[in-house]
Structure 1
Amino acid sequence: MNAPLVGIMTSKKNEYSLAGNLNLFISIQKELLLRGARSFVFSFEDVKDDARILGYIFSVDKQEWHRKMMPLPDIVYNRIPFRHSEQTTQFQKCVQVFKDHHIPMFNPGFIDKYDLFLLLSSSKKLKKYLPETILIDSVDTLEKFYLDHNDIYIKPRMLSKGKNIYRLNRDLILELHNQKITFSNFNDFWSEFGEMFCGGFIAQPTIQPTIVEGNRFDFRILSHWSEVEKNYKVTGIGIRATNEFNLTTHLINGGFIMPYEKIQEPKHDRFISALVKEVGRILSKQLGFWGEFSIDAGVDTEGNYVIYEVNSKPMSFDEEEIERKRIIYLCDLFFQLTGWED
């Protein structure tokens, strides 16, 4: 077959099935078949010592998965959904196999939120958009930060999608989505939550977001590398909005979709275009090739842009047009990075 074989790497859900975004995997397989190529999904645990892989191929005709022993792919797309999986010796051994056979792989892995802050802070272009961030390592560190800002967010270093995000406001009320706990003093708060937060969480000052029609909003920006342009480009921009009092704009936490056109301005376009180029440059320079990523960003009440998060393994976008472009650009990359003609 005069086309690349794409390996989509994930983890095992259990002994008999794989985890991950199966709809994404199927969409990639369908698009590749239209181009005369094919893909298979595999767990890093199933890469054999003889460089064969026990993988799964999706049959579009039968609408079912078939298990089959496969050769090494021409390119690997890392979609492992669990951070702990990438910390195993077996994962590192699998990555080494691909390196030994000169097989390109993207993306390298998950990004720790505090490491990301340090990384992006090294860029003069990005530093001004980053909220002050500390690693919670002691009661003194967090108490000083809280007294300096009076209103802070506490976020896990290693989770995404708005999970386990807390807000400690000026009245010492700790908020977690629909739950609120009031404390009489900081020591009482630390006695109950300090052990959980210490080491695995970061703190940032609460950003007062700009409000549109009674709602706050965030940019959800999807970007892909263009081998033709030799730069990162904007694939799509989604807007997630929510009541101004909600902790996050994530859909699973009560957020909703707003068309980008509703708030679009030339300055937003310029900011987003420059942002994806610089974030992509920093990531790939420091961590390895990044074929795609997404950015959560926003605007505060004074009109300043803020970077909230960079996602190394973007979830599917609910906007069909953006998700369709994503599949096309991914498959373009699979061909371009392996040197095959599409």
Structure 2
Amino acid sequence: MVAPVITILTEVYTQEERPYFGSIHAFCEEFFHYCQREGIFFYVCTTDSSKQGSEEWQGYVCTEEGNWELTLVPRPHIVHNRIHSRKRERSEEFKQFVHVLEEQQIPYFNGHYLNKWEVYEGLSSVVHLHPHLPKTYQLSSKDTLIDVLANHPTVFIKPIHGSQGRNIFKVAQNDHAYVLDYTTFQQALNKEYASFYDLFHSLYHHLKKQGFIVQEAIELKTDQHGRPFDFRLLCHRNKQGLWKVTSSVARISSEHTFVSNLAQGGAQLNALQLLKDLYDEKTALHLLLLMRELALDICQELSTNQSKIFGEFGIDLALDQEGHPWIIEVNTKPSKQLYQEANKVRPSTKALLEYCLYLFQASNR
């Protein structure tokens, strides 16, 4: 069988007068070299790359000198969507690009972002996942927040379309005030408000800009230094199209913040090592296995109930004080900026190519 042509769809910027692929630039280089080693042609494309009915596209190919050059390339067999912007995914250019793919029967995966409310609704319909889902509500009015705070003394307010720990508010009640914690600014903001009216007035100019959910705050386990942490489990479909956990890391919040995202200053550690620092070896292994099984359940449920194909998810889980795992977030376009050893191909990169080959073979049956 002929080798497939694979492309990654993303935005292209200019840095030092050269094409630059934003946060996935290093990943594209890694993927290119791995594809080259495996005898597979790979390039990077944009929504402007395709021409309706044409066998030739325009794409960015890496030269022997390590530069990316725009040139004519063959039409791809597989497209992996890594567009960073939700707004761009709603654009007419993106819709036209997808129309070309569907018209030419070119498989593409991770075709769109899933928002937080979609994820919650999808997972809350699965009974055995209920014990792992924090109570979550769509913030539709001021009364919603009043009602949720009446039942939960501490809550998180998260943007439905948010990512990388940005624009998340933490609201806690004590005997005489509401305490607002907001870490998206250059420095942490922590303010007290004597009344709910004052709190909501302060929040309103943020909340009116986009949709938000309100989520009960779980009292999470902390490390030896009192810092909250969570786990990112990167999951991919394998060469049989079945979900597997490719990697798992622990992410520890930086000082004075409540989010562990690396983009917000969090640190990354080996997941099992962190668990062994906090529990005996048997318990640590059990908890890691439990989280791996939970992550695979999440992937299976979400991908089964979507009209588009998904081949990669980043699942964020955390443990409470009793060691019970909770679902924090599901990422359809997980970060490619995690730790990488020089000259080594990450398991996640190998897994993505494996799934591309599966899609190619499935489309040629």
Q: What is the TM-score when the length of structure 1 is the normalising length?
A: 0.92
- Alignment partners' CA distance in 2, 1:301 and 1:244: 20
Aligned mate of 2:233, from 221, 245, 249 = 221
CA displacement, residues 132-189 of structure 1 (integer Å, 9 cap, x when unaligned): 1111111111111112212111111112111111111113121112111221211112
Displacement after TM superposition at 1:261 (Å): 2.4
Supply the RMSD in Å over aligned alpha carbons: 2.3
Q: Which amino acid aligns with 2:291?
A: I
In structure 1, the residue matched to 2:353 is 331
- Alignment partners' CA distance in 2, 1:33 and 1:296: 32
In structure 1, the residue matched to 2:333 is 313
Out of 313-322 and 118-127, give the one that drifted further.
313-322
Aligned mate of 1:120, from 107, 123, 133 = 123
Summarize the alignment of residues 134-283 of structure 1 with structure 2, pairs less than 5 Å apart.
134-170=137-173, 171-177=177-183, 178-198=188-208, 200-213=211-224, 214-228=226-240, 230-242=241-253, 246-262=257-273, 263=275, 265-283=284-302
- Alignment partners' CA distance in 1, 2:51 and 2:20: 17
User: Does the Cα contact within 8 Å between 1:232 and 1:276 map onto a contact in 2?
Assistant: no
Alpha-carbon distance change, 244 to 306 in structure 1, aligned in 2, over 3 angstroms: farther
**1:292 and 2:303 matched:** no
Displacement after TM superposition at 1:16 (Å): 8.4
Out of 23-32 and 328-337, give the one that drifted further.
328-337
User: Does the Cα contact within 8 Å between 1:9 and 1:44 map onto a contact in 2?
Assistant: yes
**1:4 and 2:4 matched:** yes
The sequence identity of aligned pairs, in percent, is 27
Q: Which amino acid aligns with 1:218?
A: D
User: Does the Cα contact within 8 Å between 1:57 and 1:65 map onto a contact in 2?
Assistant: yes
Q: What is the TM-score when the length of structure 2 is the normalising length?
A: 0.86
- Alignment partners' CA distance in 2, 1:221 and 1:329: 14
Q: Which amino acid aligns with 1:259?
A: N
Q: Which amino acid aligns with 1:201?
A: F
Displacement after TM superposition at 1:225 (Å): 0.4
What are structure 2's unaligned runs of at least 5 residues?
277-283
User: Does the Cα contact within 8 Å between 1:231 and 1:277 map onto a contact in 2?
Assistant: no
- Alignment partners' CA distance in 1, 2:21 and 2:269: 30
**1:42 and 2:45 matched:** yes
Q: Which amino acid aligns with 2:96?
A: K
User: Does the Cα contact within 8 Å between 2:19 and 2:69 map onto a contact in 1?
Assistant: no
**1:304 and 2:324 matched:** yes
Matched residue of 1:215: which SS?
A: coil
Displacement after TM superposition at 1:126 (Å): 2.0
Aligned mate of 1:130, from 116, 129, 133 = 133
Matched residue of 2:132: which SS?
A: coil
Matched residue of 1:46: which SS?
A: coil
User: Does the Cα contact within 8 Å between 2:233 and 2:316 map onto a contact in 1?
Assistant: yes
Alpha-carbon distance change, 272 to 71 in structure 1, aligned in 2, over 3 angstroms: same
- Alignment partners' CA distance in 2, 1:16 and 1:272: 42
Matched residue of 1:237: which SS?
A: strand
Displacement after TM superposition at 1:339 (Å): 1.8
Q: Which amino acid aligns with 2:317?
A: A
User: Does the Cα contact within 8 Å between 2:9 and 2:44 map onto a contact in 1?
Assistant: yes
In structure 2, the residue matched to 1:57 is 61
- Alignment partners' CA distance in 2, 1:176 and 1:272: 28
CA displacement, residues 220-250 of structure 1 (integer Å, 9 cap, x when unaligned): 100110133x421110110011368521112
Out of 37-46 and 248-257, give the one that drifted further.
248-257
- Alignment partners' CA distance in 2, 1:231 and 1:325: 16
Matched residue of 1:316: which SS?
A: coil
User: Does the Cα contact within 8 Å between 2:239 and 2:357 map onto a contact in 1?
Assistant: no
- Alignment partners' CA distance in 2, 1:323 and 1:275: 26
In structure 2, the residue matched to 1:85 is 88
Matched residue of 2:336: which SS?
A: coil
Alpha-carbon distance change, 109 to 18 in structure 1, aligned in 2, over 3 angstroms: farther
- Alignment partners' CA distance in 2, 1:195 and 1:254: 26
CA displacement, residues 286-332 of structure 1 (integer Å, 9 cap, x when unaligned): 22221111111101113221000010011125333797111111112
Displacement after TM superposition at 1:283 (Å): 2.1
CA displacement, residues 50-71 of structure 1 (integer Å, 9 cap, x when unaligned): 4342211111x21101111223
Q: Which amino acid aligns with 2:31?
A: I
Q: Which amino acid aligns with 2:357?
A: F
User: Does the Cα contact within 8 Å between 1:316 and 1:323 map onto a contact in 2?
Assistant: no
What are structure 1's unaligned runs of at least 5 residues?
none
Aligned mate of 2:70, from 67, 73, 90 = 67
User: Does the Cα contact within 8 Å between 2:136 and 2:215 map onto a contact in 1?
Assistant: yes
